[in-house]
Chain A
Amino acid sequence: MEEIIKILKQFRPDIDFENQKNLIGDGLLDSLDIVSIVSEFDSEFDIEIPVEEITPENFNSVQAMKELIERLKDEA
């Protein structure tokens, strides 16, 4: 969790990731952010986030992102 927040803060130090649960829905993260975040997750956690998993639901909160990363790691 900490690690994810650290990565996210790198791109968006202005967002309170611990408490925001609707990052996409509220328009806090945009396409530029998601592009950066996906590629950083891929390299940091040694995963490959497939296109079907790049959905608003999976990126709406840190918790959702954590679950996505863990699921992909388990599958690997």
Chain B
Amino acid sequence: MVNILSYLENSAKAFPQKIAFADDETEITFSGLKNAAMAIASRILELTNSERNVPVVVLLKKSVNCITAFMGITYAADFYTPLDSTSPQARLLKIKDTLRPRLIITTKELLPAAQSLGFCEEQIILIEDAVSHSIDSGKIEAALSGKIDTDPLYILFTSGSTGTPKGVTICHRSVIDYIEWVCNTFHFDENTRFGNQAPFYFDNSILDIYSTLKTGATTYIIPEKLFIFPVKLIEYLNEKKINTIFWVPSALIYAANSKILSKQIPQYLTKILFCGEVMPNKQLNIWRRALPDALYANLYGPTEITDVCAYYMVDREMSDDEPLPIGFPCANTDIIVLNEKNEAVKGSEIGELCVRGTSLSLGYYNNPEKTRDAFVQNPLNPYYPELIYRTGDLVKYNERHELIYLCRRDFQIKHMGHRIEIGEIETAALSLPNMENGCIVYDEQANKIVLFYQSETLDDAAVLVGMRDLLPKYMLPNRLIKLDRMPMNANGKIDRVTLKESLKK
């Protein structure tokens, strides 16, 4: 198997009339998905003259349509990048500058947004028209015959410290390697009903999408609004008989803290997986008491190694203040923990988690410098070229030889499950007219992004309004503190330690 389309083809044969994906407005069967995707592909191949490996962006509200667009692009032997339709134009333009997409798939509703990003008429595909385009199977077959498993499937953009997002390029082979592991390990099959939380621009959604395609399961795309209202969320899970979720811990923590679980439980739920940030045992224990028979698994991994590289099946009692392990490497994945001398750690020594295997990204698209920094020769192997990915996460082994996550070695944070480079927020803040100086500190206790700033004329509201045009919402400061002057350390840099200390008062 060299192309993830085999998953869709097999399921369309085995379960043609079964619902594959559903949102609050529409649903699509496996055979319907295959046909719609082939129609879109036929339209794409017309516009690209059947050229392979062309970048195509998708600007759509989170919906079944997104999946259809992704598969259409894949049938055209190209690769896709979902754009967050709620992200400000300035950030989408940065992504566009790096990716230089040839085409955009969107809807009539979002057409003005696509045009204002600079796409001209012959670059825009309206999905409502494309799904009924006539299918040219010969063209599709010819395009796919030259596609190999190390060609890209998708590119997802993550926060970049200098303000420019980085495009993590993932190939078919890596996704196949991951999906085979995840479906075998968690026994997903056609009876699995996923309740999808992850946005499609976030790689946790890879599990939902491709496990569904492989096994003939069904994914229900949960309307984002429901995550605000726990009572309605549980009602939804029960109404759709959701039995499997793979959510960011923030969503599980919010539900646990709301105390909903002592009043009402998701009665069909048997598998609860999470990934994206630290899951505290305090809230996990609330879930475990509410649903004692469910399977709980802590998954770990950055986008650069295709979603997940380590996992821990929760198999014993844990106290509220204990750290939850990230456990052990997935099948066909190796984790090396390197100390500052680039040697493998011994015992419980702290080191950087590095990954080796098929799961590794092809690199950051159109960004050789950043790629060279993060994807490096395995220092333990001087004999032949072998890349490892340096995650920047510091970890250690506990006495059971389980991996324990400790902290970052740089200025990356996890906020509400989103991976953010503090530098990207600072770059945006400092770019505002009349902003004299500024610094971002993350308050881990309160889970708040705090902006300290210095300006004669700007006030908090003006700063926030200005930043909304530059950054997606989850990157905006939650608290602003205006200072007459930034504290400086001996090296003449902003004294982050003093600023962080001031938050504790």
Instruction: Indicate whether A and B interact.
Output: yes
Interface of A toward B, CB cutoff 8 Å: 9-11, 13-14, 24, 27, 30-32, 34-36, 50-52, 54-56
Q: Which residues of B contact A24 (CB under 8 A)?
A: 225, 228
Most buried by B among A9, A35, A50: A35
Does B229 lie within 8 Å of A54, measured CB to CB?
yes
Q: Are A31 and B464 in contact (CB under 8 A)?
A: no
Q: Is B129 an interface residue (CB 8 A)?
A: no
Closest residue of chain B to A56 (Cβ to Cβ) is B229
Contact A32 B474 (CB under 8 A): yes
In the assembly, what is the distance between CA of A67 and CA of B46, in Å?
A: 58
Complex Cα gap A36–B230 (Å)? 15
Binds A, one of B203-211, B258-266, B317-325: B258-266
Instruction: Report whether B474 and A52 are in contact in the complex, using a CB–CB cutoff of 8 Å.
Output: no
Measured CB to CB, the closest approach of chain B to A57, in angstroms, equals 10
A13 to B225, CA, bound (A): 21
Residues of A within 8 A of B465 (CB): 13-14
A9 contacts B478, C-beta separation under 8 Å: no
Inter-chain CA distance A57–B395, complex, in Å, is 45
The residue on B at minimum CB distance from A9 is B461
Given A10-B460, A24-B228, A54-B229, 9 more contacts at CB 8 Å?
Answer: A27-B225, A30-B225, A30-B473, A31-B224, A32-B473, A51-B260, A54-B230, A54-B231, A55-B231
A13 close to B228 (CB less than 8 A)? no
* Cα(A30)–Cα(B476), bound, Å: 14
A51 and B224 contact, CB distance less than 8 A = no
Tally B residues with Cβ within 8 Å of A.
Answer: 22
Flag whether B133 is at the interface (Cβ < 8 A): no
Using known A-B contacts A13-B465, A32-B474, A35-B254, determine if residue A51 contacts B225 with beta carbons closer than 8 Å.
Answer: no
Residue contacts A-B, CB under 8 angstroms, 13 given: A13-B460, A13-B464, A14-B464, A30-B224, A31-B224, A32-B473, A35-B254, A50-B259, A51-B230, A54-B231, A55-B229, A56-B225, A56-B229
Q: Which residue of B lies closest to A52 (CB)?
A: B231
Bound complex: CA A1 to CA B473 (Å): 26
Q: Which residue of B lies closest to A34 (CB)?
A: B228
Complexed CA–CA distance, A32 and B250 (Å): 10
Contact assessment for B468 and A14 in the assembled complex, using a CB-CB cutoff below 8 Å? yes
A residues near B230, Cβ cutoff 8 Å? 51, 54
Q: Are A36 and B464 neighbours in the complex by a CB distance under 8 Å?
A: no
Residues of A within 8 A of B260 (CB): 51
State whether A31 touches B474 (Cβ < 8 A).
no
Q: What residues of A have a CB within 8 angstroms of the CB of B416 in the complex?
A: 32
A residues near B254, Cβ cutoff 8 Å: 31, 35
Q: Is the CB of B227 closer than 8 A to any CB of chain A?
A: yes
A9 and B459 alpha carbons, distance in the complex (Å): 13
Contacts of A31 in B (CB 8 A): 224-225, 227-228, 254
Which 6 residue pairs spanning A and B have beta carbons closest together?
A13-B461, A51-B258, A31-B228, A34-B228, A51-B260, A31-B227
Give the docked Cα–Cα distance between A55 and B229 (Å).
6
Give the Cβ gap from A18 to chain B, nearest Cβ, in Å: 15
The closest CB in chain B to the CB of A35 belongs to B254
Assess whether A51 is in contact with B228, with CB atoms less than 8 Å apart: no
Minimum C-beta distance from B171 to chain A (A): 33
Q: Which residues of B contact A30 (CB under 8 A)?
A: 224-225, 228, 473
Chain B residues 205 to 250 lying within 8 A of chain A, measured CB to CB, are 224-225, 227-232
Q: Which of A11, A13, A34 is packed against the most chain B CB atoms within 10 Å?
A: A13
CA distance A32 to B224 in the complex (A): 11
CA distance A35 to B465 in the complex (A): 20
Whether B258 pairs with A54 at a CB distance below 8 angstroms is yes
Chain A residue at minimum C-beta to C-beta distance from B474: A32
CA distance A56 to B478 in the complex (A): 22
Nearest chain-B residue to A27 (Cβ)?
Answer: B225
Shortest CB-to-CB span from A10 to chain B, Å, is 8
With A32-B474, A35-B254, A36-B478 known to touch, is A51 a contact of B231 (CB < 8 Å)? yes
- Interfacial chain B residues near A9, Cβ < 8 Å: 461
CB distance from B331 to the nearest CB of A (A): 35
In whole angstroms, how far apart are the Cα atoms of A34 and B250 in the complex?
Answer: 14
**Contact partners of A10 in chain B: CB under 8 A:** 460
Closest to A14 in B: B465
Q: Which of B229, B258, B464, B473 has the most CB of A within 10 A?
A: B229
Q: Which residues of B contact A34 (CB under 8 A)?
A: 228
* Residue numbers in B under 8 Å from A35 (CB-CB): 228, 254
- Give chain A nearest CB distance to B141 CB in angstroms: 42
With a CB–CB cut-off of 8 A, which chain B residues contact A55? Answer: 229, 231-232
- State in angstroms the CA–CA spacing of A8 and B112 once bound together: 30
In the complex, chain A residues whose CB is within 8 Å of the CB of B258: 51, 54
Least CB distance from B357 to A in Å reads 35
Q: What distance in Å separates the Cβ of B411 from its nearest Cβ neighbour in chain A?
A: 22
Chain B residues within an 8 Å CB radius of A32? 416, 473-474
Q: Mark B255-277, 1 if CB is under 8 A from A, else 0.
A: 00011100100000000000000
Q: List A contacts of B227 (CB < 8 A).
A: 31
Looking at the assembled complex, report how far the CB atom of B257 sits from the nearest CB atom of chain A, in whole angstroms: 9
Contact B468 A51 (CB under 8 A): no
Q: Which residue of A lies closest to B262 (CB)?
A: A51
Give the residues from 440 to 478 in chain B that come closer than 8 angstroms, CB to CB, to chain A.
460-461, 464-465, 468, 473-474, 478
